[in-house]
Each structure stands twice: as C-alpha cells, then as structure tokens.
Structure 1
C-alpha cells in the first residue's frame, strides 16, 4: 500500500491543487503541490481554537467562512497575521502527528478544493515527518506508555506528596477531567493543541498524578498507530524494570526514583519548567525510570518549508519558538 508521504510527494511533483481526503480521518489541502493545511478528526482545528478560546463566536466564524475567508478575518482585526499563522502551524502539526502514519485507507483527491483559509502557508512533507518523529520521541521520553493518550484522564484523589506545581495546561486538564474524556477530547473542549494536552497528560502520569486505568477498559489505538513500526506503541521497560500488572504503565510511588532537591545538581528541567515539585515522582531526563537514554539534543527538526506568502514571518523561526513554548507548557 502506498505510504501517505509518498502519495503527497507525487502530488507535489504534479503541482496539484486540491484536497486529499482520508475518509473520516481528515483532509490534507494542497496548493500548487505544497501542503497548505491539514484537518484531523482527532484534533482541534483552527475554528475550534478560535471559538473555544473566546477569540470569536461561532456565528461570526461561519460568516467569515462564507464570505471573505482569511482576508476578511485579518481585516476585521480579530487576530494578527502572526497569531493566525501560529495557530495554523499548531493545527497542522497536530493533524500531521495522527494523519501521516495512517495506513489501510483509500485517499481520494478532489482537484480544486480549497480550505477557507486559502493558501497562505506552505509545509514541507519531509519536514512534517521529521517533526512528528521528534514529538513521538519527546512524549516517550516523558512517559513511555502511550496508553494514557487514549484512555480517559483520571486524576488521583490525593497527592502523592506534600505538594505539586502545575503548568497552566496541566491545571486546565485536571479541572476539565471528568474521568470520561480522553486527552484529545479534552483538547477540543479546552481549545488547546492536541499535542500540548498530550504533553501535559504524560507529565501528569510521570508525576504520579493520574490514577491507574480502569481494569475493565483498554486503550484504543489512535489512527495510524498500527502502521509499520507502530511508533505510538508503548515502549517496553529496560531489563529489570518490570511494569506492575494492571497499572497500565503507572509506577507505584514507592518504586519511583528519588530526585534531587531544588538547586542540587541534576535537578529535572521538567520541574524547573513548571512540572511536578521535587518528590512528586517526576522523572529526570538524565535518569529516566525506565532506563531510556536522554533525548538527543542534536536531533533537531529541520525547517518545515519555504517562507510564507503574504506574511514576512519566518516559518522556521516560528517553529523554533513553538517548540520552546511547548517545553515550558
């Protein structure tokens, strides 16, 4: 079966303009052979981000979609060009994370079809693939089991220590968790990037702030997770680090490694960036509880494409800024 990135490569060589529909999973929009936007059923789109965060009402957004599109949106001043570009970048990276590994579908290309935002930004497919790989590696470094990505978020009823420090996204996840919504469902409810919520949930799991999964419920695979290589599969622990049965990858507090006190050498940069307080069980990058080596700092994603049109902002610079903000989220 043809890989999706190979199919997109063929459309790029043909300089195709239109929409590549992936069944119910989502849609990839192209202009002159270059990716301009991606929609994924699993993750929030630009429309959801704008309405959920209070930037505009659904009625106003529908009016823009029907008349004027992106140009009118910017003319009315609801968003600056930079804010809109940053939102589009996050949505495309979110969608690519789930759409690019998809297999088993029969994509259909509809020539001439365009997204209402138009062809304002262009993304390199190879760059998107590299960035998705970097994100998967980073998620696995924080917490090695992907089960928490697909199961309902269930905060523990009591703290594993005397106190914790939460980031803004982690706090929103804890407050919004109803023990039924999965991380991606919470992302749509909160109007947050799906990846940002996945980061928050994995850090909460690493800090011991999530309850073990319901024994009667198993995690459902995300779209594309069954592709060759299964990048979303839970990473097995190192020899001698068995995961207790029935915990879904959660490690009991008494078996988590001890951490340095604040200010001591080797303090986790996760805690410094707003993760759990020392003693709450947050693993260090240098000493992962499952023996995984630290993420290679040299494995930096390459720029995602040519400069944008109609906007002087450098996409590569915006990409670096977004990664830095995600590290602090």
Structure 2
C-alpha cells in the first residue's frame, strides 16, 4: 500500500488542486501541489482553537464560514492576519503529525475541492514531512515511551518532592485531567494544540508527576494507525517497549522545587508559561525516566521547514529559535 507521504509527494509533482480524503481520519487540501490546510479527527481544527480560547463565538464563526469565508473573517472578525496565520500554521503542523503515519486507509482525491479558508497560506509537502520527523524525535528525547500519548492522563496524588514548577499548558492539563481523558481528548477540551499537550504530558511523565496506568490496562492505538509519537513502536510485551514504571518504594525527596521542563514553542504559541529551569534528577522519584532504549533514541534535528510565502518559513525559524533558547 502506498504511504501517505509518497502519495502527497506525487500530488505535489503533478501540481494537483483538490482534497485528499482519508476516510474518517481527516482531509488534506492542496492547491497547485502545495498543502493549504489539513483537517484531522484526532486534533482540534482552527475553528475549535478560535472558539475554545474565546476569540470568537461558534455562531459568529459559522456565519463567516457560510458567507464570505476567510476574506470576511479578516475584514469583520476580531483576528489580525498574523493571528489567523499563526493559528493555521499550528493546526496544519498538528494535523500533519497525526495524519502522515496513518496506514490501512484508501485515500480518495477530489479535484477542485477547497477548504473554506481558501488558498491563503501554503506548505511544501517535503517540509511538513521533515517537521513531523523532528517532532517525533523530540518527543522521544523528552520521554521515550509513547504509551502516555494514548493512556488517560492520571496525575499523581502527591508530589515527588516539596515543590514543582509548571508551564501554563502543563497546569491546564493537570487541572483538566479527570483520569479518563487521553492527551488528545484533553487538547480538544482545552482548545490547545494536540502536539503541545503531548509535549506537556511527556514532560510531566519525565518529572514523575503522572501515575502509572491502572493494572491490566494497556495503551491501544486506533485500528490501522500507529501511536502518535512512535509510529513503529513494538507490540505489548516486546523488550523494546517502555512504559510508566509501576510504583515502588519512594526515594528520598528532593527539597528543591522540581521543574516539569521548559515551555516549548508550541506551548508558547498557545500562551504557555515561562520556561522552567530544567528537568529534575530522574533517580529521585519512583516514577523516573525509563532506561535508555536504543530503539527510541532521538534522531538529529532535520533541516528547517520551508514554506511559501516566506513569512511561514520565518515563523518556523522563530519557533525553533525559541526552542533552542528554552
């Protein structure tokens, strides 16, 4: 079966215009061979991000979608072109991260179909593929187990030390966690980027702030797709598979405040808090980082993502610069 990234590369070479529908998983919109927008069933769309964060009401947004589209939104809505552009950038990168690893579907291309936002911004297919690979490597570097991406978020009932420092997104995840919602479900509830919530959850796991899963419960991916952060992860029981360790005897608590990691650029784009001072020492709590797994070792960061027009590439470089400074 043809991989989705290879199919998109072929559409890019043919300079195709239309919508590539991936069943219930989502839709990829292209114009002249370049991606203009992506919709993913697993992640919040730009509509959800705008309404959940209070930028617009759902009724007002529906009215603009039905009459005037993107042009009217920019003329009459409360958003500046830069705000909408940044929201679309985050949404497309988010959707690409979860759509590109999908397998087992039969994509259908519908020529000429467009998204209501129109062809305002463009993304090169090769650039999206590179950025998704960089993000997967970065998630594995923070916490090498993809289990936390699909399990319900369960904060520990007590701190592993005397204090903790959280970013804004991490705080929202802790407050919103009901021990039932997965990270992507929380992202939709909070109106946050799915990838930003995954970053927050993996940093919480690395800081020892997430409880192990209920006994007998395993992280299961949806049929026909890989886990978001680790498309090639092993089946349950494989030696290379890592997960949150079971509770053990607590080690002596560190009296200094613990940090759940620096804010990532995607968190900052959602209004995330100031960077923390670094990760805690892994050996000082019973939920420490799993042993190094060569199968999930982080890969070197890829080349910068390019886009058209130039300001999209500038936004990507700004995101990466913030990440390096954090």
Q: Which TM-score band applies after superposition, normalised by the shorter structure?
A: 0.7 to 0.9
Q: Superposition RMSD on alpha carbons, in Å?
A: 6.5
CA distance in structure 2 between the partners assigned to 1:83 and 1:145 by the alignment: 34
Q: Structure 1 residues 247 and 68 mapped into 2: Cα distance closer, same or farther (>3 Å)?
A: farther
Counterpart secondary structure, 2:29: strand
CA distance in structure 2 between the partners assigned to 1:22 and 1:109 by the alignment: 9
Give CA-to-partner distance per residue, 1:121-173, whole Å, 9 cap, x none: 11111111111111111111111110000011111111000000000000000
Alpha-carbon contact 1:16-1:33 (below 8 Å) kept: yes
CA distance in structure 1 between the partners assigned to 2:104 and 2:263 by the alignment: 51
Alpha-carbon contact 1:153-1:179 (below 8 Å) kept: yes
1:227 equivalent to 2:227? Answer yes
Structure 1 stretch 70-79 or stretch 169-178: which is displaced more?
70-79
Q: Structure 1 residues 298 and 83 mapped into 2: Cα distance closer, same or farther (>3 Å)?
A: farther
Shift, 1:278, TM fit: 13
Q: Structure 1 residues 319 and 270 mapped into 2: Cα distance closer, same or farther (>3 Å)?
A: closer
Q: Structure 1 residues 16 and 285 mapped into 2: Cα distance closer, same or farther (>3 Å)?
A: farther
Q: Structure 1 residues 260 and 144 mapped into 2: Cα distance closer, same or farther (>3 Å)?
A: closer
Alpha-carbon contact 2:69-2:116 (below 8 Å) kept: yes
Give CA-to-partner distance per residue, 1:55-112, whole Å, 9 cap, x none: 0000001001100111011101411111111111111111111111111110001111
Equivalent residue for 1:280, pick from 254, 277, 281: 277
Shift, 1:11, TM fit: 1.5
CA distance in structure 1 between the partners assigned to 2:195 and 2:227 by the alignment: 19
Q: Structure 1 residues 171 and 132 mapped into 2: Cα distance closer, same or farther (>3 Å)?
A: same
Unaligned ranges ≥5, structure 1: none
Aligned residue-pair number:
326
Shift, 1:232, TM fit: 5.5
Q: Structure 1 residues 219 and 296 mapped into 2: Cα distance closer, same or farther (>3 Å)?
A: closer
Q: Structure 1 residues 52 and 275 mapped into 2: Cα distance closer, same or farther (>3 Å)?
A: closer
Alpha-carbon contact 2:3-2:103 (below 8 Å) kept: yes
Q: What TM-score does the superposition give when structure 1 sets the normalisation length?
A: 0.78
Counterpart secondary structure, 2:55: coil
CA distance in structure 2 between the partners assigned to 1:25 and 1:262 by the alignment: 32
CA distance in structure 2 between the partners assigned to 1:92 and 1:262 by the alignment: 23
Unaligned ranges ≥5, structure 2: none
Shift, 1:14, TM fit: 2.2
Alpha-carbon contact 1:127-1:302 (below 8 Å) kept: no
Structure 1 stretch 306-315 or stretch 62-71: which is displaced more?
306-315
Q: Structure 1 residues 215 and 74 mapped into 2: Cα distance closer, same or farther (>3 Å)?
A: same
Q: What TM-score does the superposition give when structure 2 sets the normalisation length?
A: 0.78
Shift, 1:254, TM fit: 10
Shift, 1:282, TM fit: 3.2
Alpha-carbon contact 2:183-2:197 (below 8 Å) kept: yes
Structure 1 stretch 37-46 or stretch 223-232: which is displaced more?
223-232
Counterpart secondary structure, 1:255: coil
Shift, 1:241, TM fit: 12
Shift, 1:284, TM fit: 7.2
CA distance in structure 2 between the partners assigned to 1:30 and 1:304 by the alignment: 27
Alpha-carbon contact 2:123-2:308 (below 8 Å) kept: no
Alpha-carbon contact 1:170-1:204 (below 8 Å) kept: yes
Give CA-to-partner distance per residue, 1:276-309, whole Å, 9 cap, x none: 9999993579999999999999999999999999
Shift, 1:216, TM fit: 2.8
